[in-house]
Amino acid sequence: MYKRLCPDLRVASIYEIDLEKLWARGIRGVLFDLDNTLIEWDNNRPAPEMMKWIREVRKRGFQVCLLSNNSVDRVQEIALRLEVPFFAPARKPFLRVFRQALGSMGLSPEATAMVGDQMFTDILGGNRLGMYTIWVHPLSSKEFIGTRVTRLLEKAVLRQLVAKGLLKSER
Ligand SMILES: [Mg+2]
């Protein structure tokens, strides 16, 4: 149970992700969560720095795709600006849309990373399929009310993962 919630990697932000290491691991595609991973939940202006970084990821040969539980309208607007394909609403952690995204990229789960800020959607879904999962610290503490509740559960699971030696306590 806990292992399914344990990310393979934990980072403070997307910019800490080592793209060379990811490539060396055999990863060729990256699915990104949107809200509080790439952009603040209550913001619809992508940061220039983030857009530049996503361009860099693609330039290095990775396929990139957005996988968001938010509405089509919200996700489409940002996906268009980033010039990347998207799936929304993805209903993570259910696997159907994860599989659709993998199918569209023509990649296996093992060759794909899932990057997101939520343990119970992004990390759980990615782990269930055997993807490489990267847990990022949320960009903003402003969140959908339901998410604030799951953050409490995340904290409890995090304590267990640290106690079991599966994850380090610091980011
Ligand atoms: Mg998120």
The CA 118 to ligand 1 mean position distance, Å, reads 6
- 160, with CB counted inside 10 A (0-12, 13-18, 19+), is middle
**How far apart are the CA of 37 and the centre of ligand 1, in A?**
5
Give this prediction's pTM. 0.95
Task: Kindly list the structural domains of the chain, giving each domain's residue range(s) and its CATH number in brackets, ordered by start.
Answer: 2-163 (3.40.50.1000)
Cα(99) to ligand 1 centroid in Å equals 19
The rounded Å distance from CA 69 to ligand 1 centre is 8
| CA–centroid distance, residue 147 to ligand 1 (Å) | 9
Ligand 1 centroid distance, CA of 87 (Å): 14
Query: Which tokens hold the place of 82?
Result: 């980033």
CA of residue 113 to ligand 1 center, whole Å: 15
DSSP 3-state assignment of 22?
Answer: helix
Q: Digits of tens for pLDDT over the chain (171 positions)? A: 788 999 999 999 999 999 999 999 999 999 999 999 999 988 888 999 999 999 999 999 999 999 999 999 999 999 999 999 999 999 999 999 999 999 999 999 999 999 999 999 999 999 999 999 999 999 988 888 888 889 999 999 999 999 999 998 765
Q: In sequence order, what are the beta bridge partners of 31?
A: 65, 114
CA distance 67 to 33: 5
